Chains A and B, each alone.
Chain A
Amino acid sequence: MVGTLVKLQLKLFTRQLKSSTATLVLTIIVDTLILLSVIAMLISLIAMRGVDPSALGPLTVSGFATLSICWPLFATLFAGNNAMLDIGRFAIYPIRARELLPGLFLAGLTGIGGVATILLTIGYIIAWSSSPAPTLAAIVGGALGVAFCLVCSRVLAGALSSLFRKRRIRDFMAIFVFLVIFIGAQAINIGAQGLANQGGTVDVEAMMAEMSGTATILGWTPFGWAWALPWSVAQGAWLTFGVQLIGAIAIVALLAWVWARFISRGLVSPLDTTVSGEKVKKSQWTDRLFPYSPAGAIAKRDMRYFLRDPRRLVGNITMLLIPVILAFAMTVSSAGASADDRDVIMTITTYAPIFFSMILCTFVAADICYDGSAIGTQIVAGVSGADDRKGRLMTILLLATPIQVLFIIGFSLYTGHWEQLPGVIGITLTLLLGGAGIGSLVGSIWQYPQPPAGGNMFGKGSTGGVNGLFASLIGMFVPIIIAIPAIVLAVQANTSGNFALFGTLSIVSGLVIGGLCFWAGVSLGGRRLDATWPEVLDRVTWKN
């Protein structure tokens, strides 16, 4: 049974890789990056062999306890398409939970996450291998630590799976997880910037003392019990060692027992039959904003999706956050600057709202991809490509324009640089109108499948492969290129001091260039769609 399951896992994995070159290339790049960083950590762990336990202990315990905390979280997040986790698939075979468990355990270690963890654990054992007793403790601790990571991740997935059956919660979780990652990454970024700005050297002694305290605490939590074993041995703290050893074994045994219960339950309840059946509001005020026509119908549908589709909500929130984060980062970086520098930074911050419109282009381009094969409804109705482009833009511009205006006013209020307003408006007009047009054209040429709403957002293919790459690259850079005249004029206004003249020119250039791109993008994009509807349908269809 063990061999069968491991072979099955490997076969599923290689099949998925072979399914497309883009997936293969992406997987190779990501896995190589992970392996390289793991090897770097492995080398530093090996180099730590012989380091005094008073330093080695805090470092390894805090590092590996963090690994134990993160592993289950990441495994649950990225496990979306792992069919092996779906116990229901084994439900038709006469197998007991305890027969499945060892095989599923080993299968879980075959992925890149498992390989990376095993490599790091080998490094951990080597780091402790300068004398026999800690070596032995490290081997036991390492094995228990790895087991904890894996079993804990399965228990977490099992506990969440019953929650995930409810569509509302699934939708909400997707948004929540995305926000945590996004904000977390930004916080690290800004924090690092703040640290760098302090300019001071880091006090190694103080840091070690702090880490030692943290490690001691972690060593007393379930996440650190196993990893702290060799440190306790090296300190000769045998009572602590005994308690941690019993704790580590007990927690793995307990989690394994819970996991087995989940498997047993999964084997007898394979089908997801929960239907929430909640009602939608019968009429919507948004309906009255659009004309009664095919384009209007597409606009209304798109508007409903913006509010009901979790995938769209994630995108909307990101778009709203980017100018705010930029402004925040700028403010942080201006904290220690001189008065003159601060003025320059604040002037630049006044322009932060233009990023909202800059992203709009890729947003417009991606819109059609979110439809998936449901776009067939439009194709069989014989809707023209131009109506499709117009309908989507109606919704996107109706939502984006007021927000853009609020951003511009808010940022100008915040920085007080009202003289920059014409320049900001000029650039924004180019990006908003031109981006809408270019996005309409790009979206008519390069489409890629998106996982259906309610599916895993981190699963395979959600990056869009080569077409997605093209669409993003062009959607990012072409709007900047067409905004160059407006940008140059805004800079000229600052260098010459004649804000009225160059500001007005900037607005005019925005209207003309943005308007032209808008018109060209919508009509060319519409024609392109009319000529290629069946191919578009094929490209946006999510194939499993």
Chain B
Amino acid sequence: MSEMIPPMPPPAPLSGGGGRSADALAIRGLVKTFGAKIAVNNLAMEVPAGSMFGFVGPNGAGKTTTLSMVTGLLRPDRGAIEIWGHDVWTDPAAAKALIGTLPDGLRMFDRLSGREMVALAGELHRVPAGEVASRSAALLEALGLTKDADTMVADYSAGMTKKIGLATALIHNPRLLILDEPLEAVDPVSGEAIREILKEYVSGGGTVVFSSHVMELVESICDTVAVIAEGRILASGPLDSVRQGKPLQQRFLELVGAHEVERSSLSWLGHSSSSN
């Protein structure tokens, strides 16, 4: 894992961008509805450049919907999304060149081998062929996929598919990584490898946004977090200011509004197995 990713060049200040260029990602007034359901409700948030940003929220809070709009996969109803000042929806080519992403719930070209899948992503991003070969070998090695590099992605396990997805997100050495549930279904060993890769990436100047609902994970590696529920940001900022001295789990439950289980109605649970 020594020569994985070359250090990131610091983001160039944008001409005329002013203070805005300090944010890798800036979202304002984002709205998305599906029929009567408001999935994302006037959402605003900023991701400072060089941060490891945790995007947390309960199931159905709008995490995937928001990240899909950031990466150009889902058209917002309203609002603006900028990557270092480039609007994703008015200047997609410039914005997308800066992003690497691991979407959740999309299929891959799974009749390609892992190596071919990574090479495809590299060529689509116009990375020179020689560079793709060496980077791909390094990424596959770091993620423990070298042995299965020539196996079709269709035959990969869920965790291996996540890992190859991460390799395709990194192959063009993006400035901003958008990862939707990157550690889901990944075994502890690979999980540790992914964490190391992400830490190294951020220390080299890269910015990571990843969604999760595992608070311990977010707490252990993120420096900045945003809590989303019902399509709105409830709290956002440096980890310690969001936590307010409590464990993130507890603070999260306070913000989201913990759902009290009524004990008495479930009193039959575990007491007797005689009925049915």
Q: Are B108 and A167 in contact (CB under 8 A)?
A: no
Stretch at the interface among B72-80, B222-230, B233-241: B72-80
Bound CA span A537–B150, Å: 28
Q: Are A379 and B129 in contact (CB under 8 A)?
A: no
Given A294-B126, A381-B121, A381-B125, does the pair A374, B150 have CB atoms closer than 8 Å? no
Q: Are B96 and A382 in contact (CB under 8 A)?
A: yes
Q: Are B151 and A280 in contact (CB under 8 A)?
A: yes
Given A276-B155, A280-B116, A380-B73, does the pair A372, B107 have CB atoms closer than 8 Å? yes
Bound CA span A541–B74, Å: 13
Query: Within the complex, which residue of A296, A309, A376, A535 is in contact with B75, where a contact is CB–CB below 8 Å?
Result: A535
Q: Are B73 and A305 in contact (CB under 8 A)?
A: no
Digitize B144-167: 1 where CB-to-A-CB distance is under 8 Å, 0 elsewhere: 000010111011010000000000
Q: Is B92 an interface residue (CB 8 A)?
A: yes
Bound CA span A339–B121, Å: 61
Query: In residues 182-225 of chain B, which contact A (Cβ within 8 Å)?
Result: none
Bound CA span A426–B240, Å: 74
- Chain A positions within 8 Å of B105 at CB level: 373
Q: Is A113 an interface residue (CB 8 A)?
A: no
Given A279-B151, A380-B96, does the pair A534, B73 have CB atoms closer than 8 Å? yes
CB of A510 to closest CB in B, whole Å: 34
- Closest residue of chain B to A167 (Cβ to Cβ) is B154
Query: Within the complex, which residue of A275, A300, A374 is in contact with B110, where a contact is CB–CB below 8 Å?
Result: A374
Q: Is B124 an interface residue (CB 8 A)?
A: yes
CB of A349 to closest CB in B, whole Å: 38
- Chain A positions within 8 Å of B123 at CB level: 292-294, 296-297, 300
Bound CA span A382–B92, Å: 7
CB of A170 to closest CB in B, whole Å: 11
- Chain B positions within 8 Å of A89 at CB level: none
- Closest residue of chain B to A297 (Cβ to Cβ) is B123
Q: Are A374 and B152 in contact (CB under 8 A)?
A: no
Query: Within the complex, which residue of B93, B107, B151 is in contact with A382, where a contact is CB–CB below 8 Å?
Result: B93
Q: Interface size class for chain A? A: 35 or more
Q: Which of B111, B112, B121 has the largest count of A CB atoms less than 10 A from its CB? A: B111
- Chain B positions within 8 Å of A373 at CB level: 105-107
Per the CB 8 Å criterion, the residue count for chain B at the interface is: 40
Q: Is B51 an interface residue (CB 8 A)?
A: no
- Chain B positions within 8 Å of A534 at CB level: 72-75
Digitize A347-385: 1 where CB-to-B-CB distance is under 8 Å, 0 elsewhere: 000000000000000000000000111101111111110
Q: Is B64 an interface residue (CB 8 A)?
A: no
- Closest residue of chain A to B169 (Cβ to Cβ) is A380
Q: Is A194 an interface residue (CB 8 A)?
A: no
Bound CA span A24–B96, Å: 40
Given A380-B72, A534-B74, A535-B75, does the pair A301, B151 have CB atoms closer than 8 Å? no
CB of B125 to closest CB in A, whole Å: 5
- Chain A positions within 8 Å of B150 at CB level: 279-282
- Chain B positions within 8 Å of A533 at CB level: 72
Given A294-B124, A453-B154, does the pair A301, B96 have CB atoms closer than 8 Å? no
- Chain A positions within 8 Å of B154 at CB level: 167, 453-454
- Chain B positions within 8 Å of A294 at CB level: 123-124, 126
Q: Which of A280, A308, A309, A380 has the largest count of B CB atoms less than 10 A from its CB? A: A380
- Closest residue of chain B to A282 (Cβ to Cβ) is B150
- Closest residue of chain B to A302 (Cβ to Cβ) is B109
Bound CA span A530–B156, Å: 32
Bound CA span A279–B93, Å: 35
- Chain B positions within 8 Å of A377 at CB level: 106, 108-109, 120-121, 124, 168
CB of A271 to closest CB in B, whole Å: 12
Bound CA span A452–B110, Å: 10
Q: Is B113 an interface residue (CB 8 A)?
A: yes
Bound CA span A358–B150, Å: 37
- Closest residue of chain A to B122 (Cβ to Cβ) is A297
CB of A534 to closest CB in B, whole Å: 4
Q: Are B151 and A278 in contact (CB under 8 A)?
A: yes
- Closest residue of chain A to B276 (Cβ to Cβ) is A94
- Chain B positions within 8 Å of A378 at CB level: 124
CB of A278 to closest CB in B, whole Å: 7
Query: Within the complex, which residue of A282, A371, A384 is in contact with B109, where a contact is CB–CB below 8 Å?
Result: A371
- Chain B positions within 8 Å of A275 at CB level: 155, 157
- Chain B positions within 8 Å of A98 at CB level: none
Query: In residues 303-330 of chain A, which contact B (Cβ within 8 Å)?
Result: 304-305, 308-309
Given A308-B111, A454-B154, does the pair A376, B121 have CB atoms closer than 8 Å? no
Query: In residues 87-139 of chain B, which contact A (Cβ within 8 Å)?
Result: 92-93, 95-97, 99, 101, 103, 105-113, 115-116, 120-121, 123-126, 129
CB of A206 to closest CB in B, whole Å: 54
Q: Are B124 and A379 in contact (CB under 8 A)?
A: no
Bound CA span A297–B73, Å: 20
CB of B170 to closest CB in A, whole Å: 13
- Chain B positions within 8 Å of A300 at CB level: 120, 123
- Chain A positions within 8 Å of B103 at CB level: 376, 380
Q: Is B71 an interface residue (CB 8 A)?
A: yes
CB of A296 to closest CB in B, whole Å: 7
Bound CA span A277–B157, Å: 11
Given A294-B123, A297-B120, A376-B103, does the pair A381, B96 have CB atoms closer than 8 Å? yes
CB of B99 to closest CB in A, whole Å: 7
Q: List 24 A-B contacts (CB under 8 A).
A: A167-B154, A276-B155, A277-B155, A278-B151, A282-B115, A297-B120, A301-B116, A308-B111, A308-B152, A373-B105, A376-B103, A377-B106, A377-B121, A380-B71, A380-B72, A380-B96, A380-B101, A382-B96, A382-B97, A453-B111, A533-B72, A534-B73, A534-B74, A534-B75
Known: A381-B96, A452-B107. 7 other contacts (CB 8 A): A275-B157, A279-B113, A296-B123, A301-B120, A304-B112, A381-B125, A381-B172
Those 7 A-B pairs whose CB atoms lie nearest each other, nearest first: A382-B96, A297-B123, A381-B124, A376-B106, A534-B75, A373-B106, A279-B150
